[in-house]
């Protein structure tokens, strides 16, 4: 019997499918999806069995060496890998690697096992080993006691290359055998959180004189909220923590403590919520996709959780996806309150590899009921999957920017079909494509038109920044916004200030010659940060800021505003306020966002400044005012979705105000107060915006009426990149198809990490036929070896 194997561990052959023979003793162990060890030249590599061939007449076929794991990738997940490969123009080996955690290959290790079985054989074997060489004799003595030797133990006997040569010698005489095995995941260090008990407020004053270290720890916790044990004891203090625990003043927990809603389980669904739950639950056990369109604060999460509860009762497993890891703590807390803590797992991109691998293996064995996570969680191998939920389905982070460049929404629908599961997309501002599918009846439409408790939407005021400037206000906050924030702080409420640009100043320019300071690698303006560095937000390049121009010696000016500069101005305006900032510069490690989120949720901070992280799906009940500092940042991007994204982000951030009480005020600061995207976002009028947008999309022939494919060209030689782009453009234009070609044009940015980037955009009216044409063009096209071509089906983000 022969099998086709996709190599998944050797980069130079990962694109190939190779054929191997299965020996009779391994025949019963090999299945489609099995992980096997195979020879490639003089090397060994792991691969995944994808098909059987029963033509045994072929000769010269090498044999599989070992079956490492029989049931490695389930049949349905294997089919999903084929789908990823075919739809997104991705090698099957890379597509299949997407289905397994990144630590899998790194945890696959080999060892050498002692072969003799009894005492008489052992004596003869050791004598032979000593006869072969002194080093072989030492290895034999060790193996006689330990039975196996791993790669990490080679160093005690000499150089690795020499030891492997000696082991091969012993293997040739039948004394040892090489075998592969799964190395256990590294033990995860326990991360304990500390929070105060109610008694701590009175105790802190009593401890200041007799136990100042304990008092300092308590004061830190009372001021800043829950802390990690490691943070509280970085300079010592374990005994102080132990003593505080003994006195009943603090609690330890493995999860970040989040204030619970004691009446959570008593929430009554309104009519529209109950209808939505019924529609979802009635379809469990068969495929159906729904779009749950509900205004901000309408209780979409409650619909998710009630539907998940019913799915669990029927024996199904649940996937609950959010677009960013910052949204996981809130969702995880809600799930634990509603559905319990047992058999709930989190999968996200920044999870330690060992932990992610263990969750994957538990999912495969059916030991996990609910998986919460970002798009990576979509590939959790749940054998009884019945419900897939994508919250905030409109967010662009559901699109993968590396091969396979999949859209999680498309893959969720495909997996729903394969698993006969219900798929639910939820959003207050659905993507135009998803809402079009719902309006045309291709997927179900569920609507939540009212806020929970019949609360009104917040009042939104558009502030004309042109008038502010003409009246002498040169700051970044309008007079009306400053006045409202001051009133809010006096009443004990909280405020959110949104600015979708991190750093201090987006540009540094010479006042004398006008030269902008650019990144040497990308040719993009460097952003000034308040640690006196200039940073490229594309490639990560960092340079020390100098106040003189390197071209003419003139004085450098810092133009524009980022979240750091906004924080500086806010602190100057309200020096007594407790201020938090949430952006890519403050959320750099695991647990940092959870700390910010918990602190603000508990009312231990007054103002939260942030980028998109704070705009999506956050539920802060005490927020009374929201300010959008500059609504124009995304309005004129070189992207046909620019207005849609502006509308979405403004509607979403405005929805953070007044969620649990009457009132709430939102201020949208803009230089374009009459733009329809801004006016309709202020009214939270999604349907009117959709009607405008869908007419524009149809007139300009953009999705959902056609399929977009971006072809990107990358290389260090700009002339050859341009030549390649033009040559392929001509080839596609000369083909007998109705593919509309836009470009070639430079990418955005045109240079990244010293690689030049050009692109062409293809509009495909008939996906099936046009795809075949595109595949043929790519096959016949002769590319320069130094130019890399990427194919992005359904691009969402600028390339």
pLDDT digits 0-9 by tens, 277-303? 999 999 999 999 999 999 988 999 999
Cis peptide before 537 (omega within 30 of 0): no
Are 704 and 437 within 8 A, CB to CB?
yes
CA distance 412 to 425: 10
Q: Which run of H or E residues covers position 770?
A: helix 767-780
φ and ψ at residue 279, rounded to 5 degrees: -65, -40
β 2-7/43-53 pair status: antiparallel
Q: Flag the least confident range among 65-74, 250-259, 558-567, 669-678.
A: 250-259
Whole-number CA gyration radius for the chain: 30
- Count of alpha carbons within 13 angstroms of residue 777, beta-carbon side: 24
Per-residue pLDDT for 426 more than 90?
Answer: yes
**Tens of pLDDT, residues 206-235:** 888 888 888 888 888 887 777 777 777 765
Beta strands in 323-471 (DSSP E): 344-347, 370-373, 385-391, 422-427, 444-448, 459-464
**Sign of the CA dihedral running 239, 240, 244, 247:** positive
State the pLDDT at residue 264: 44
How far apart (Å, rounded) are the C-alpha atoms in residues 272 and 424? Answer: 16
DSSP single-letter state for residue 539 = T
**Which candidate, 579, 642, 611, 573, places its Cα nearest to that of 796?**
642
Q: What confidence category does residue 184 fall into, taking pLDDT thresholds of 50, 70 and 90?
A: low
pLDDT at 48: 92
- Return the pLDDT at 262: 41
pLDDT at 418: 96
> Alpha-carbon dihedral of residues 695, 699, 700, 702, nearest 10 degrees?
50
User: What is the biggest distance separating any 2 CA atoms in the chain, rounded to whole angstroms?
Assistant: 100
- Alpha-carbon distance of 657 to 321, in angstroms, equals 24
pLDDT confidence of residue 662: 61
Question: Which residues are registered as beta bridge partners of 399?
Answer: 407
Task: Kindly state the DSSP code that residue 526 receives in the 8-state scheme.
Answer: P
Q: Sign of dihedral through CA atoms 433, 439, 440, 441?
A: positive
* 759 neighbors 747 (Cβ within 8 angstroms): yes
Does the N-terminal peptide bond of residue 519 adopt cis geometry, omega within 30 degrees of 0?
Answer: no
How many Cα neighbours within 13 Å face the side chain of 334? 21
pLDDT digits over 333-386, tens only?
888 877 776 688 888 877 777 778 888 888 888 889 999 999 999 999 999 999
Phi and psi angles of residue 463, each rounded to the nearest 5 degrees, phi first: -105, 125
3-state secondary structure of 366: coil
Least confident of 40-54, 231-245, 488-502: 231-245
DSSP three-state, residue 217: helix
Q: What is the average per-residue pLDDT within 454-467?
A: 89
Residue 370's Cβ-side half-sphere holds a number of Cα atoms within 13 Å equal to: 25
What pLDDT, on the 0 to 100 scale, is given for residue 661? Answer: 63
Q: Is the pLDDT of residue 505 over 80?
A: yes
The contacts found for 509-514 with CB under 8 angstroms, 24 or more apart, are: 509/556, 509/557, 509/559, 510/549, 510/551, 510/552, 510/554, 510/555, 510/556, 510/557, 511/554, 511/555, 511/556, 511/557, 512/549, 512/552, 512/553, 512/554, 512/555, 513/549, 513/551, 513/552, 513/554
CB-CB neighbours of 657 under 10 Å: 28
Tell me which of 11-20, 131-140, 594-603 is least confident. 11-20
Q: In this structure, what DSSP letter does residue 96 have?
A: H
Confidence at 441, pLDDT banded by 50, 70, 90 = very high
* pLDDT band with cut points at 50, 70 and 90 for residue 263: very low
Neighbour order of strands in the sheet with 665-670: 459-464, 665-670, 623-628, 494-498, 607-610, 579-582
pLDDT(185) > 60 = no
Q: Which residue has the higher pLDDT, 530 or 658?
A: 530
Tally of CB atoms within 10 A around 20: 22
Residues above pLDDT 90, as percent of the chain:
53
Distance CA 576, CA 585 (A): 23
- Rounded Cα distance, 701 and 692, in Å: 14
Q: Is the pLDDT of residue 467 over 70?
A: yes
Reported confidence tier of residue 275, pLDDT bands at 50, 70, 90: very high
**What is the per-residue pLDDT for 293?**
97
Helix (H, G, I), strand (E, B) or coil at 757: strand
Helix, strand, coil percentages (3-state) for the chain, rounded to 5, are 40, 25, 35
Do 777 and 731 touch, CB atoms closer than 8 A? yes
Q: Is 788 exposed, middle or buried (0-12, 13-18, 19+ CB in 10 A)?
A: middle
Please report which helix (H) or strand (E) contains residue 240, including its range: helix 238-246
Rounded to whole angstroms, the Cα distance separating 362 from 368 reads 6
Distances (CA, A) of 102 to 8, 98, 185, 242, 360: 11, 8, 12, 38, 11
pLDDT the model gives residue 701? 95
Q: Higher model confidence: residue 209 or residue 412?
A: 412
- Reported as a pLDDT band with limits 50, 70 and 90, residue 257 is low
pLDDT of residue 260: 41
Report which DSSP code applies to 437: H
pLDDT of residue 266: 55
Best CA proximity match to 655, nearest among 438, 392, 306: 392
Lowest mean pLDDT among 22-36, 510-524, 612-626: 612-626
Question: What is residue 656's three-state secondary structure?
Answer: coil
- State the Cα–Cα distance between residues 507 and 499, nearest whole angstrom: 16
Rounded Cα distance, 505 and 516, in Å? 12
- Residue 364's nearest CA partner among 107, 32, 99 is 99
| pLDDT (0 to 100) of residue 14 | 64
How does the average pLDDT of the chain come out, rounded? 88
What are 222's two structure tokens? 């009372």
Nearest in space to 684 (alpha carbons), one of 457, 487, 501: 457
Which residue shows structure tokens 């191998």? 381
Which alpha helices (H) appear in 62-118, and where do they start and end?
75-87, 92-98, 103-106
Report residue 393 as tokens. Answer: 């389905």
Q: Any residues with CB less than 8 A from the CB of 669 and at least 6 apart, and which?
A: 463, 465, 468, 477, 478, 481, 627, 628, 629, 630, 631
């Amino acid at each position: 019997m022969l099998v086709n194997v996709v190599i998944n561990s050797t980069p130079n052959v990962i694109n190939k499918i190779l054929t191997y023979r299965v020996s009779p003793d391994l025949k019963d162990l090999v299945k489609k999806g099995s992980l096997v060890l195979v020879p490639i030249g003089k090397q060994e590599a792991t691969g995944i069995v994808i098909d059987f061939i029963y033509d045994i007449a072929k000769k010269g076929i090498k044999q599989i060496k070992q079956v490492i794991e029989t049931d490695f990738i389930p049949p349905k997940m294997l089919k999903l890998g084929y789908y990823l490969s075919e739809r997104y123009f991705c090698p099957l080996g890379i597509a299949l690697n997407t289905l397994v955690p990144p630590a899998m290959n790194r945890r696959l290790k080999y060892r050498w096992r002692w072969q003799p079985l009894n005492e008489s054989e052992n004596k003869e074997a050791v004598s032979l080993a000593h006869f072969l060489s002194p080093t072989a004799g030492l290895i034999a003595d060790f193996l006689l006691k330990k039975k196996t030797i791993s790669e990490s133990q080679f160093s005690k006997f000499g150089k690795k290359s020499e030891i492997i040569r000696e082991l091969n010698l012993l293997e040739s005489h039948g004394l040892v055998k090489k075998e592969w095995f799964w190395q256990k995941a590294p033990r995860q260090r326990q991360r304990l959180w500390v929070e105060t008990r109610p008694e701590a407020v009175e105790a802190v004053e009593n401890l200041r004189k007799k136990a100042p270290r304990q008092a300092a720890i308590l004061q830190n916790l009372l001021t800043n909220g829950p802390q990690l044990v490691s943070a509280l004891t970085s300079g010592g203090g374990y005994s102080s923590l132990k003593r505080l625990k003994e006195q009943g003043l603090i609690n330890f927990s493995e999860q970040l403590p989040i204030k619970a809603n004691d009446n959570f389980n008593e929430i009554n669904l309104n009519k529209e919520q109950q209808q939505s739950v019924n529609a979802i639950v009635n379809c469990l056990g068969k495929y159906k996709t729904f779009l749950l369109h509900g205004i901000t604060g309408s209780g979409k999460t409650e619909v998710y959780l009630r539907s998940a509860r019913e799915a669990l009762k029927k024996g199904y497993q649940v996937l609950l996806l959010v677009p960013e890891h910052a949204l996981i703590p809130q969702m995880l807390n809600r799930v634990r309150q509603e559905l319990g803590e047992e058999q709930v797992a989190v999968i996200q991109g920044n999870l330690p590899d060992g932990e992610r691998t263990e969750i994957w293996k538990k999912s495969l064995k059916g030991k996990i009921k609910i998986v919460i996570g970002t798009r990576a969680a979509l590939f959790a191998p749940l054998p009884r999957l019945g419900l897939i939920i994508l919250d905030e389905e409109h967010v662009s982070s559901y699109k993968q920017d590396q091969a396979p460049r999949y859209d999680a929404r498309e893959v969720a629908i495909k997996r729903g079909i394969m698993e006969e599961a219900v798929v639910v997309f939820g959003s207050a501002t659905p993507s135009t494509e998803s809402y079009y599918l719902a309006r045309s009846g291709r997927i179900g439409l569920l609507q939540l038109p009212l806020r929970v408790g019949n609360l009104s939407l917040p009042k939104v005021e558009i502030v004309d920044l042109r008038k502010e400037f003409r009246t002498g206000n040169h700051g970044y906050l309008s007079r009306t916004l400053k006045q409202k924030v001051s009133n809010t702080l006096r009443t004990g409420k909280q405020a959110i200030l949104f600015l979708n640009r991190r750093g201090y100043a987006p540009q540094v320019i010479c006042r004398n010659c006008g030269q902008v300071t650019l990144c040497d690698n990308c040719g993009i303006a460097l952003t000034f940060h308040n640690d006196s560095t200039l940073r490229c937000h594309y490639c990560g390049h960092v340079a020390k800021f100098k106040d003189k121009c390197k071209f003419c010696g003139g004085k450098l000016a810092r133009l524009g505003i980022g979240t750091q500069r906004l924080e500086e101005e806010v602190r100057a305006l309200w020096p007594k306020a407790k201020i938090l900032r949430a952006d890519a510069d403050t959320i750099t490690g695991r647990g940092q966002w959870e700390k910010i989120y918990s602190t603000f949720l508990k009312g231990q901070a007054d103002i939260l400044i942030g980028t998109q992280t704070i705009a999506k799906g956050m539920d802060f009940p005490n927020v009374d005012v929201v300010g959008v500092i500059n609504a124009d940042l995304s309005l004129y991007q070189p992207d046909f979705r620019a207005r849609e994204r502006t509308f979405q982000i403004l509607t979403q951030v405005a929805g953070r105000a007044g969620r649990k009480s009457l009132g709430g005020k939102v201020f949208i600061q803009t230089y374009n107060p009459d733009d329809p995207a801004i006016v309709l976002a202020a009214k939270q009028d999604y349907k009117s915006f959709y009607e405008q947008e869908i007419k524009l999309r149809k007139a300009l022939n953009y999705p959902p009426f056609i399929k977009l494919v971006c072809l990107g060209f990358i290389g260090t030689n700009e002339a050859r990149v341009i030549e390649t782009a033009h040559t392929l453009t001509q080839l596609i234009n000369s083909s007998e198809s109705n593919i509309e070609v836009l470009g070639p044009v430079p990418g955005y940015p045109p240079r990244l990490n010293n690689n030049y980037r050009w692109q062409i955009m293809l509009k495909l009216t008939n996906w099936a036929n046009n795809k075949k044409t595109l595949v043929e063009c790519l096959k016949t096209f002769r590319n320069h070896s130094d130019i890399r071509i990427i194919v992005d089906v359904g691009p969402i983000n600028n390339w």
